[in-house]
Amino acid sequence: MSQKKDPEIRKNEIIQAAEQLFLTQSYEVTTVEHILQLAGLSKGGFYHHFKSKDDVLVVILDRITDESVQAAQDIADRKRISALQKLALFFKHLMELKMPKAKIIRAFYEEHDSNPQFYKQNAMIWNKYVPVFTQIVLQGIQEGSMTVEHPEETVRLLFGAIASLYHLYHRKADDRGTNDEMKRHVEALESIFTKTLGIDAGQIRLLESDLLKELI
């Protein structure tokens, strides 16, 4: 008699199959049937865990975010390096971790306008970075390298600006700005970060060129 798999294992198999398909053949063309075929499950097995492929995408984005937040926390907790060094590492590792998943992230924002669930999720994603980034800013204030009057509130507003930037450039292709326009917005946002935190220009790089090309 065959033994039934643990429900959590089944759920992970669905997520892994969906992620593979979203990366190889795109989110748009992937159907629930495709995911079921790859995972070797029935429709009942899928809908026991998820209502739609949108729900699966949200879980995948959550996992990507949690992984990068943990990496950022590891940076924030490091001893013997300054807040400014942590700041540079924070954004560098953030982009390095997201680069392999850029196709999935792009799909999320392309569906953003037509799906209220994604709109809400976008804010939640960036809010997860607030505590760890605030920790780095507090260290910077203590070291005298940053000047911020209300650290947590300031960080929350700054990451709200990042969320808005992602939303702005993940619309359908015929409604999207040019690469040059995107770069100007990124440079403006980097300038806002540096001036708000009271640090020198060039200390923050929000998007490197390779990731920028992947996302837009």
CATH number of 74's domain: 1.10.357.10
Range of the domain at 65: 57-215
Domain boundary among 30, 50, 70: 50
Domain boundary among 31, 50, 69: 50
Q: Does residue 121 sit in the same domain as residue 205?
A: yes
Q: CA angle 99-193-188, nearest 5°?
A: 80
pLDDT of residue 168: 65
pLDDT of residue 143: 96
The token pair that represents 12 in the structure block: 């992970």
Q: Does residue 8 sit in the same domain as residue 73?
A: no
How would you label 14-25 residue by residue, b for 16+ Cβ within 10 Å and e otherwise? bbebbbebbbee
pLDDT of residue 93: 85
| 101 CB-near residues (< 8 Å, 6+ apart) | 23, 64
Q: Does residue 64 sit in the same domain as residue 29?
A: no
pLDDT of residue 182: 74
Helices (H), 77-178: 83-98, 102-110, 116-127, 130-143, 151-168
pTM listed for this prediction: 0.83
d(CA 23, CA 11): 18
Q: Does residue 205 sit in the same domain as residue 190?
A: yes
Query: Which parts of the chain have pLDDT scores under 70?
Result: 1-5, 112-114, 166-179, 207-216
User: For tokens 């060129």, what's the residue?
Assistant: 209
Q: What domain count does the chain have?
A: 2
pLDDT of residue 2: 42
Q: For 113-149, write each residue's pLDDT tens digit.
A: 667 777 778 778 888 999 999 999 999 999 999 999 9
pLDDT of residue 212: 58
pLDDT of residue 101: 86
pLDDT of residue 203: 77
CATH of the domain at 24: 1.10.10.60
pLDDT of residue 205: 74
Q: Does residue 63 sit in the same domain as residue 21?
A: no
pLDDT of residue 166: 65
pLDDT of residue 96: 81
Question: Which stretch of DSSP H or E encloses residue 68?
Answer: helix 53-76
pLDDT of residue 1: 37
pLDDT of residue 7: 78
